[in-house]
Structures are given as structure tokens and as C-alpha cells.
């Protein structure tokens, strides 16, 4: 795989960081929207080689993390039924709902299976006609086409024992919600390359024009991310705001037209609740009426499950930099990585979990430092 070497070259990374350093004259906050980009930034330590004036804000683009608590609780309720084979992508198995996770359901006898494609779930449904097979269909525009294909296939082949618990979310409304937020500090966005490989990027232009914010379509390798950041800084410093494609090897302006057609046939937009964020209008997809028979929420009568997140949690204030994690009253008491109340403690890379896990290394009243920098 060429990208393992070509886009991870340490010397080129330093050169790009140097270019960013030369360009930047004032503080800028850049949000990487996608969880995959966040993962790459943390894993490679990209934030450590950026100038101090550049702040990376981690966006709401991890579909696992923003799946609302009530969807997880609905998944647990359905998966606990003896007549159900519950299929999911791997990392959803360990997302805590209010009463446990899918691993817990599996350990209690539930038939929970990891699949690599929603089409595998349709196959399992064909092979088990006397069982109900449910697929947990979460994700952004990237995973949605395959999920749409699975529903359409089940519909066309009359696989009536297949259904999907759908909780798809969309990037552009999230960007709009962030820009409209009173506490917004974001000056530019790195848009998610894989999302744009499906959708193209024409629909980002109105956002760019309305909010005068640079949006750079960016990949996931270290050099991709540094190049995306460099382009954002160049635009910000010159006072321009445009949509730029820094990931042309994967993304075209029109995107995957066949996938878009399929998505439009199977899904329609709906308001969606985002864990750790709140409700964002028109930010999700649900099944159209034609495919409503394949909607697990209706089929298993779990629509009424409604879960409140903890009011003790001050993750929002932590994320906005208003308080340090240890200044939250619940920190280390009601809220720990074992019993997370909010997204920042749910995550191994979240600010609260980092403070909790590395508190023995970083004085809790000290400014944020990265323990790795001491190495």
C-alpha cells in the first residue's frame, strides 16, 4: 500500500509543519470533522508538531460516539430478544448504553454478531428464515450507501426477516450547527475525505459562502492532514474562504453519483439527536415509506425508549475550554472511564479520560501537557 510510506514521510511532515509555521501570524482554530482524522492526529502526534498558534478542535465526526444513548438502548432491547440475531460493526459492541453494552447482551445469551458489511446481515437473514435479523445501521454518508444497498436488497428479494435500526447522521448540517453555535470558535474546517468521496463537495459551497469559512476536503494520512491544515491557514491568513479539494486521489467534485441515487431512493432526511451535542435539524437519514417495513425501530416497537443523559456531566464546558476536566464536580467520582457520564470520559482520547488515565503523570491543576512530550 503506497500510502504506508508515501504519505507518512517524517521529513516531508516536518517540511509541511515548517510551511505552516511560516504562514501563520495569529491564532487559528481548525476543526477536523471526521473521527478518522481525529484518530490519525492523536495516533501520529500531528498536533505536537504544529505551531502553538494552531489549535485543532476535534469535531463531532465519529459516528460511534455521536450515536445517541437512546439508539444504543434500543439496540440493547432488540438484541436481548431470543428471536433476534443482532448484527453490528465491531466497534459498536462496546458503546455503553444506560444499562450496559452489546457485549453484556451477548454474555447473557443474546445472539450478537460482528459483520464487516450490512450485506452479510442480509445473507444471515436468508440463512435463518425462522429468526429476525437486525443490523445496526449507523454512520455518516460513508457507510450509508452499503446500508441502503442492504435494505434495498432485502426489499427486492423479499427477505422480510431482515431489518435495520437506522441512525445515520450527515456532515453539512453538523457544520452548520457548529457555525451557528454561540460558543463557536472554529475558523476553518477539514472536511472528511471519505464522506466527500460519496457525496462530492458541491454542497459545501453554500456553507463556505454563508459563513465565510474555509473548508478543505482532507484525507487521513499524516501528510494529507498537514496539507489540509496548511491550506486552511493559507486561506485564513489571506482572508479568503473557499472549498478546496486536498484529497483529489479519492474525491471528485460530483462524488459517487450511483451511491447518491441509491441513498436518495432508500433514505429521507430527518432531525437527529447527536450524543454529546444535542438535536440538529435535518441532520440524519431515516428509511423512506417504501422501505419502512425494514425499520427495526417500528418492527420491534422500541420507538418509545427515551433516555436522558446525565445532568451532572459538564463535558460541553470542558470541550469549549471553559473548565478543566478535574473542575467538574462528577470527575473521578460519579464519572470515570468505567462509568462514563459524557463523551469526554467515554472516549479513551477524550479530555476527561486523558486526565483520569494520566493524572498520575500530569498534575491535575497544571496546564494541559502531553505526557508523551516528556519522553
Partner 1 sequence: MADKTPKSSRNGAGDPIDFGGPVCPVPLQDYPNVILGHGGGGKLSAELVEHVFLPAFKNDHLDVLRDSAVIQLTGQRLAMSTDSYVVRPLFFPGGSIGDLAINGTVNDLAMSGAKPLYLSAAFIIEEGFPIAELKRIADAMGAAARHAGVTVITGDTKVVEQGHGDGCYINTAGVGVVPDGIDIAPNNARPGDVVIVSGTLGDHGMAIMSVREGLEFDAKIQSDSAPLADMVAAITEVCPDVHVLRDPTRGGLAASLNEIAASSDCGIVIEETRLPIHPIVQSACEILGFDPLLVANEGKLVCMVPAAFAGAVLNAIQADKHGSNAAIIGHVVAEHPGVVVAKTVIGASRVVVTAIGEQLPRIC
Number of residues that bind partner 1 (CB under 8 A): 108
361: β partners = none
H or E element in which residue 157 lies: none
Beta-strand (E) ranges in 54-147?
54-61, 84-88, 111-114, 132-139
- Determine if 269 is a binding residue for partner 1 (CB under 8 A): no
- Determine if 144 is a binding residue for partner 1 (CB under 8 A): no
- Determine if 219 is a binding residue for partner 1 (CB under 8 A): no
Instruction: For partner 1, give the closer residue by CB, 69 or 196.
Output: 69
Which residues, including other chains, have CB under 8 Å from residue 88's CB and lie 6 or more apart? 75, 102, 112, 113, 114, 115, 135, 136
Give the distance between the most distant pair of CA atoms in the chain: 66
Instruction: For partner 1, give the closer residue by CB, 155 or 320.
Output: 320
Instruction: For partner 1, give the closer residue by CB, 160 or 326.
Output: 326
Residues 154-183 that bind partner 1 (CB under 8 A): 177-178, 180-183
- Determine if 18 is a binding residue for partner 1 (CB under 8 A): no
Residues 185-214 that bind partner 1 (CB under 8 A): none
Among 90, 129, 206, 248, binds partner 1 (CB under 8 A): 90
- Determine if 258 is a binding residue for partner 1 (CB under 8 A): no
- Determine if 249 is a binding residue for partner 1 (CB under 8 A): no
- Determine if 358 is a binding residue for partner 1 (CB under 8 A): yes
Spatial distance between the Cα atoms of 169 and 183, rounded to a whole number of angstroms: 22
Among 54, 75, 198, 315, binds partner 1 (CB under 8 A): 315
- Determine if 2 is a binding residue for partner 1 (CB under 8 A): no
- Chain centroid to CA 186: how far? 17
Which residues, including other chains, have CB under 8 Å from residue 98's CB and lie 6 or more apart? 69, 72, 73, 307
- Chain centroid to CA 293: how far? 27
The stretch near partner 1 (CB under 8 A) out of 207-215, 227-235, 238-246, 309-317 is: 309-317
Cα angle 301, 294, 152; round to 5: 165
Instruction: For partner 1, give the closer residue by CB, 166 or 319.
Output: 319
Amino acid at each position: 500500500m503506497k500510502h504506508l510510506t508515501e504519505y507518512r514521510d517524517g521529513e516531508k511532515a516536518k517540511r509541511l509543519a515548517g510551511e505552516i509555521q511560516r504562514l501563520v501570524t495569529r491564532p487559528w482554530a481548525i476543526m477536523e470533522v471526521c473521527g478518522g482524522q481525529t484518530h490519525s492526529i492523536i495516533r501520529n502526534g500531528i498536533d505536537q508538531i504544529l505551531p502553538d498558534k494552531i489549535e485543532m478542535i476535534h469535531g463531532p465526526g465519529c459516528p460511534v460516539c455521536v450515536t445517541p444513548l437512546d439508539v444504543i438502548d434500543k439496540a440493547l432491547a432488540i438484541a436481548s430478544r431470543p428471536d433476534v440475531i443482532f448484527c453490528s460493526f465491531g466497534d459498536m459492541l462496546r458503546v455503553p448504553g444506560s444499562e450496559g453494552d452489546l457485549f453484556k447482551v451477548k454474555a447473557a445469551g443474546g445472539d450478537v454478531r460482528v459483520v464487516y458489511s450490512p450485506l452479510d446481515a442480509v445473507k444471515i437473514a436468508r440463512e435463518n428464515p425462522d429468526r429476525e435479523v437486525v443490523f445496526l445501521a449507523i454512520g455518516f454518508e460513508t457507510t450509508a450507501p452499503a446500508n441502503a444497498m442492504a435494505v434495498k436488497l432485502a426489499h427486492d428479494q423479499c427477505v422480510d426477516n431482515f431489518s435495520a435500526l437506522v441512525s445515520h447522521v450527515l456532515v453539512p448540517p453538523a457544520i452548520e450547527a457548529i457555525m451557528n453555535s454561540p460558543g463557536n470558535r472554529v475558523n476553518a474546517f477539514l472536511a472528511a475525505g471519505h464522506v466527500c468521496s460519496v457525496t462530492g463537495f458541491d454542497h459545501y459551497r453554500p456553507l463556505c459562502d454563508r459563513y465565510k469559512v474555509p473548508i478543505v476536503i482532507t484525507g487521513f494520512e499524516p501528510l494529507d492532514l498537514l496539507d489540509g491544515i496548511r491550506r486552511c491557514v493559507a486561506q485564513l491568513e489571506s482572508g479568503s474562504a473557499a472549498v478546496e479539494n486536498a484529497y483529489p486521489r479519492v474525491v471528485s467534485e460530483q462524488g459517487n453519483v450511483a451511491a447518491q441515487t441509491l441513498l436518495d431512493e432508500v433514505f429521507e432526511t430527518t432531525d437527529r439527536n447527536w450524543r454529546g451535542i444535542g438535536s440538529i435539524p435535518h441532520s440524519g437519514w431515516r428509511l423512506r415509506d417504501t422501505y419502512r417495513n425494514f425499520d427495526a425501530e417500528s418492527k420491534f416497537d422500541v420507538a418509545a425508549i427515551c433516555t436522558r443523559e446525565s445532568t451532572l456531566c459538564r463535558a460541553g464546558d470542558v470541550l469549549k475550554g471553559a473548565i478543566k476536566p478535574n473542575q467538574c464536580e462528577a470527575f473521578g467520582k460519579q464519572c470515570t472511564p468505567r462509568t462514563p457520564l459524557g463523551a469526554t470520559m467515554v472516549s479513551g482520547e477524550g479530555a476527561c479520560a486523558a486526565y483520569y488515565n494520566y493524572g498520575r503523570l500530569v498534575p491535575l491543576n497544571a496546564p494541559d501537557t502531553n505526557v508523551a512530550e516528556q519522553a
